[in-house]
A and B are shown apart, each in its own frame.
Chain A
Amino acid sequence: MNRGESERDRLVLSIATEPLDALARDLVSSHGIAAVAGACRGESGSPHVPEAWVERVALAPVDQVLDAGAAARARWITPAHPAWPAALGDLAGVDDHGAAPWGVWVRGEGPLEVDRAVSVVGARSCTTYGAEVAGDLGADLADRGWTVVSGAAFGIDACAHRGALAVAGRTVAVLACGVDVPYPQAHATLLDRIAHEGWIIAEHPPGSVPHRHRFLTRNRLIAALGAGTVVVEAAPRSGSLNTLRWADRLGRSSMAVPGSVLSQQSGGAHRAVREGEAVLVTSADDVAQELDGLGWSDLGATETLTDDSRRLHATLPREGGVTVGELVVLLDASLRQVRAGLALLERRGHARRADGGWIALGPLPG
C-alpha cells in the first residue's frame, strides 16, 4: 500500500511487537509501516524502536518465519491481499490508533470464507447444557451457510466448532498462538480437522506460544470476523464477555443464550442481557434473524444511509458521548436498530466511540 509498505514489513511488525502495543501503533502512525519495520530489522535512521523488538526480529528473521509458515502449510496475508477479510479492517476504527492486526496467518485449504460468519464463544468450563446448546448452534448456523468462528478452547468453543464440522459446515478457529501450535494440546485432533475442513488463523508467527495477554487480544479478531458474537455460557468474569464487548465496540451484534438462573456459568451472559450489552437468543433462528435484521447478509460498499441513521446522527452529540441505552430512549427505537445504525455510521466515519458513549463526526453527505 502507501509508502512502500509490504507484506514483509507487516510480518516484521507482527514478529517484533505484541498486538495492540500502543507504542508500535504510535510509531506506525507517525512514521509509517515501512520505516518502523526497517528499524525493527536494525536498519539505521529513524524512528528509534525498543531494543527488544530488534532482538525478536533478529532471532526470527522474516525468511525463516516464512519458511516455518510454509512448512506448516500456512500463508501470511495482509490488507493488500485479495483474500484479506475486510471484516478485520473494521478494527482499525475502534481505538485511536486502531486495533487491526498487521496481518494474519491462515492455515487451511482455499480462500478464507468469512463473508457470512458468526462467532460463538463461551465458558471453557461449560456445563452439559452449554455444551449441548453450543453444538446445536454451531451445526444449525453452519447448516444455514454461516461460517462458525471460535477460539478452539475447551468447552463452548470446541462444541461450536464440532457442531459445524458435524454438518460439514465452515468453521474458523482463531488462536492465541501460532497457527501450527496445537493449543490446547487435547484439541490437537480437533485443530487438525479444522485445518482440513475449515481454517485456523492467528496473528502470531508460526511456533508462537499462547500468553494470557494474547487470549485477550485474540478475542478482538473473533469478534471482528463474525457479523455477530453469541455467548453461550459465561460466568460473570469470563473471557468470553471480553469478546462480546469487542463485538459491541465494533458495532457487531452481540447476543447471549440464556441458561438457568441458578447456574454460575450463565451469570455473565444473563448480566450482559440485563445491561443491554447483548440480545437474548435461543436458537440459530434467533441468531439468523438478529443478523439478517442488521443487513449483514448483503452488506457491502453500496450500503446507503437510511432516514433512521440520519435521525440517529442528528441525535448524537459532538462531544460527551451518549450510551446506546440512552439512544434507545431518546429515539424510542429498539436496541437492534440503534446498534445497526451506529455500526453503519461508524463504518462510514460519521460516528465513533468517545467518553464511554457515542459522538457524531462531521456532517452527513446530502
Chain B
Amino acid sequence: MSGRVVSVTLDGLTGRAIEVEADIVGGLPRTVIVGLPDVTVNEARDRCKSAVVNSGAPWPDQRITINLAPSTLPKSGSHYDLAIAMAVIAAQKAVPAEALAGTAFVGELALDGRLRAVPGVLPATLAAAEAGCTHVVVPEVNVPEAELVDGIAVTGVRSLRHLVALMTGEEVPDDPPVPPIEPPAAAPWGSADRLSGLDLADVAGHEDVRLAVLVAAVGGHHLSMVGPPGVGKTMLAQRLPGLLPDLGRQDAIEVSAVHSVAGLLAPDVPLLTRPPFLDPHHTASAAAIVGGGSRQVRPGAMSLAHRGVLFLDEAPEFTVNVLEALRQPLESGRIVVARSARTVVYPARFQLVIAANPCPCGQAATLDSACRCTPAMRRRYGERISGPIRDRIDIRRTLTAPSRPELAATVAAGRRTVELAQRVLEARDRQGSRLAGTPWRTNADVPGTELRKAWPLAEEARVLLDRQLHADKLNPRSADRVLRLAWSVADLHGHDLPGGADVRTALSLRSDLPLDAAMRSLVAA
C-alpha cells in the first residue's frame, strides 16, 4: 500500500515541488524517513503519528517508509508534516485519490492534530504553482500570503481532521483557529511602519545631505554620512525610505517571500509594498545581520533589506565579520549562508546607508573640539569599513554641527517628503524608460561598461570626465561611479543627457564638495 502527495522544499527562497511517498509494508512497526531529511524533518515521524492518531485516523502498526523525492535535494523544516500525514492516510485509502491530485500540502502538525503556521508559505506556494499544482493546502493563518500567488487555489485548514473532512465530504469539525507564528523574540530592528510620517523637511540644516539623500533615492546609490553624534545622521537615514517609490508587484512578492521565510510576515498584510528599512544594531549577532542560525537557516537583516535600505548606524562599531560580509551582497546582490554541509542563497540587493562618527570619541569634526583621538586612531576608525566597500559607496557627505541647532531650522525651510517623493518617482520613470528591456532598474545597477556604451554622454560632460581621468583625479572605476551619479542628477533635473553641470554635481557628491545652486533649489522650499 502506498500513498503519494506533493509538498515543497525551500532552498533559500527557491522552492522545488517534491513528492512525499508513504509505503506501508509488513514488518516491525517502525517509521523511517528517507530522502536527505535533516534533524528537523526526522522529528516529523513522531509528530505525524500522534497527530494522525489524535485525529481519529489509524496509524498502521507496520513498517512505514516515507520517501521524500527527489532524494538528492536536502530537506529541512517542519512544514512537511502535513504532506507526510496525508501520504500515510492516502496509503490507507482513507481519502479519495482524486482529491489529492495536483494539490501541494504545507504545514506543521501539533500532536493533537491541529495545524501550526509555518514560515515560507509564500515561496512554497510560488514553487507549487510553478510545478503545475492547481491547489495548495496551508495552515489557515497562512492563507493570505499563499493567495498572493496567481493561478493556484488556496485552502486553509485548522487541523488534520478538518482537512480529511473536507476531502471526504464529511461535516467539518469546529477546531480553534491557527495562531500566527510567534515573531522572533527580540529582532534587532523594528518594523518599517515606524518610519511612516517621517519628513525630510524635519531635518534642520544639512541642505547638502538632504540633497545627497534625494539623489541616493533617485538612483539607488549607496550613501555614507560621517559626523559628530547628534547632528542628525540617523534622522536623515530614516528619511530615505519615505522618498523611495512603492515596490513593483514582482519586487513586492520577492521581498514578502524573504520576510515569509524569516517568519516575519504579518498575517493580515502579507504583501510588503514599501521598500523595507533594516537598521540592525551593531551588537546584533552576525547570524541576525548576515543570515544563518544554528537549527534553521534564516535570512538576516541584509536579506530582509532586499529591494530596500540597509542602514548601519555607527558602522565602524560592527564586527569585522559583519562588515566584510557586506562585500558579497554589494557585488552580487545575493548572500550565501553556509551551514554545515549546506549552503543557502538569499537575495540581498539592498541600498546601503552607513553613518559613522569621525573618530572613536566622535568629536573630531567639530570646531573647538576636545577630541584627543590621534590621527592614527581616526584613520584606523574610518578604515574599519574596508576599501572595497567604501569604494562602492557613491555618495559621501561629512556633516558638521550648525553654529546653533535651532538656527538651522529657521534659516531655510526644506521641501517636504511628499513633494520630493514625487520628483524621485518622475526620475525613476525616466530611468525606467531608458532601462526598459535591460536587467537593470536604477542607475546604480548599470555596469559602467554598459552605461558608457549604451548611453553616450554629452560632449561637455565627456570632456570633463576625461580630464579628471587624465589628471589622475579619478580611476576608471570611480569614473564609472561618477557617471552613474551624473545620470541620477540628470534624471532629477529632467535632463535628457547628463551635461557638464550634472557631472560636476556628481563629482561633488562623490568627493564631499559643496553642491551648486541648481541642486539647492531642489530641496530648499
Q: Are A263 and B403 in contact (CB under 8 A)?
A: no
Q: Are A260 and B514 in contact (CB under 8 A)?
A: yes
A159 to B410, CA, bound (A): 10
Q: Are A263 and B514 in contact (CB under 8 A)?
A: yes
Give the size category of A's interface with B: 20 to 34
A155 to B520, CA, bound (A): 9
Which chain A residues numbered 147 to 175 have a C-beta less than 8 Å away from chain B? 154-155, 159, 162-163, 165-167
Which chain A residues numbered 282 to 332 have a C-beta less than 8 Å away from chain B? none
**If the complex has contacts A128-B208, A132-B402, A136-B402, are A166 and B411 also in contact, measured as CB distance less than 8 A?**
yes
Binds B, one of A17-25, A119-127, A342-350: A119-127
Q: Are A135 and B411 in contact (CB under 8 A)?
A: yes
Q: Are A128 and B520 in contact (CB under 8 A)?
A: yes
Contacts of A139 in B (CB 8 A): 403-404, 407, 411
Q: Which residue of A lies closest to B517 (CB)?
A: A125
A49 to B211, CA, bound (A): 56
Check: A341 CB closer than 8 A to any chain B CB. no
Contacts of A127 in B (CB 8 A): 514-517, 520
Contact with B along A114-144 (1 / 0, CB 8 A): 0000000001111111111001100110000
Contacts of A130 in B (CB 8 A): 514
Q: Which residue of A lies closest to B406 (CB)?
A: A166
Main secondary structure of the interface of A (DSSP, over half): helix
Contacts of B517 in A (CB 8 A): 123-127, 154-155
A187 to B31, CA, bound (A): 83
Contacts of A178 in B (CB 8 A): none
Give the size category of B's interface with A: 20 to 34
Q: Which residue of B208, B410, B511, B516 contacts A166 across the interface (Cβ within 8 Å)? A: B410
Contacts of A259 in B (CB 8 A): 514
A263 to B507, CA, bound (A): 11
Q: Which residue of A123, A131, A162, A165 contacts B207 across the interface (Cβ within 8 Å)? A: A131
Contacts of B513 in A (CB 8 A): 260, 262-263
Contacts of B511 in A (CB 8 A): 262
Q: Are A265 and B516 in contact (CB under 8 A)?
A: yes
Q: Are B519 and A166 in contact (CB under 8 A)?
A: no
Check: B518 CB closer than 8 A to any chain A CB. yes
A126 to B207, CA, bound (A): 12
Q: Which residue of B lies closest to A167 (CB)?
A: B407
Contacts of B403 in A (CB 8 A): 136, 139-140
Q: Name the distance in Å between B474's Cβ and chain A's nearest Cβ.
A: 13
Check: B322 CB closer than 8 A to any chain A CB. no
Contact with B along A242-269 (1 / 0, CB 8 A): 0000000000000000011011010000
Contacts of B404 in A (CB 8 A): 139, 167
Which chain B residues numbered 393 to 411 have a C-beta less than 8 Å away from chain A? 402-404, 406-408, 410-411
Q: Which residue of A lies closest to B520 (CB)?
A: A128
Q: Which residue of B402, B411, B514, B519 contacts A159 across the interface (Cβ within 8 Å)? A: B411
Q: Name the distance in Å between A139's Cβ and chain B's nearest Cβ.
A: 5
A265 to B205, CA, bound (A): 20
Which chain A residues numbered 163 to 199 have a C-beta less than 8 Å away from chain B? 163, 165-167
Q: Name the distance in Å between B514's Cβ and chain A's nearest Cβ.
A: 3
Which chain B residues numbered 412 to 428 have a C-beta less than 8 Å away from chain A? 412
Q: Are A128 and B514 in contact (CB under 8 A)?
A: yes
Contacts of A154 in B (CB 8 A): 517
- Among A124, A126, A129: residue with most chain B CB under 10 A: A129
A265 to B514, CA, bound (A): 10
Q: Are B411 and A126 in contact (CB under 8 A)?
A: no
Q: Which residue of B412, B514, B516 contacts A162 across the interface (Cβ within 8 Å)? A: B412
Which chain A residues numbered 192 to 248 have a C-beta less than 8 Å away from chain B? none
**If the complex has contacts A124-B517, A263-B514, are A131 and B412 also in contact, measured as CB distance less than 8 A?**
yes
Contact with A along B366-405 (1 / 0, CB 8 A): 0000000000000000000000000000000000001110
Contacts of B514 in A (CB 8 A): 127-130, 259-260, 263, 265
A124 to B211, CA, bound (A): 19
Contacts of A135 in B (CB 8 A): 402, 407-408, 411-412
Q: Name the distance in Å between B343's Cβ and chain A's nearest Cβ.
A: 46
**If the complex has contacts A139-B403, A139-B404, are A128 and B515 also in contact, measured as CB distance less than 8 A?**
yes
Q: Are B207 and A132 in contact (CB under 8 A)?
A: yes
**If the complex has contacts A139-B404, A263-B513, are A128 and B207 also in contact, measured as CB distance less than 8 A?**
yes
A143 to B286, CA, bound (A): 50
Contacts of B515 in A (CB 8 A): 127-128
A55 to B511, CA, bound (A): 58
Which chain B residues numbered 471 to 525 have a C-beta less than 8 Å away from chain A? 511, 513-520, 524
A325 to B516, CA, bound (A): 34
Q: Are A159 and B516 in contact (CB under 8 A)?
A: no
A166 to B402, CA, bound (A): 13
Contacts of B520 in A (CB 8 A): 126-128, 131
A123 to B517, CA, bound (A): 9
Given A126-B520, A131-B412: 13 more A-B contacts, CB < 8 Å: A125-B517, A125-B518, A127-B516, A128-B208, A132-B205, A135-B411, A139-B403, A154-B517, A159-B412, A163-B411, A166-B410, A167-B404, A259-B514
Which residues of A are in contact with B by a Cβ distance under 8 Å? 123-132, 135-136, 139-140, 154-155, 159, 162-163, 165-167, 259-260, 262-263, 265
9 smallest CB-CB distances across A and B, nearest first, come from: A125-B517, A129-B514, A127-B514, A128-B208, A166-B410, A136-B403, A135-B411, A128-B207, A162-B411
Can you offer 11 A-B residue contacts whose CB atoms are under 8 A? A123-B517, A126-B520, A130-B514, A131-B412, A131-B524, A135-B402, A135-B407, A139-B404, A159-B412, A166-B407, A262-B511
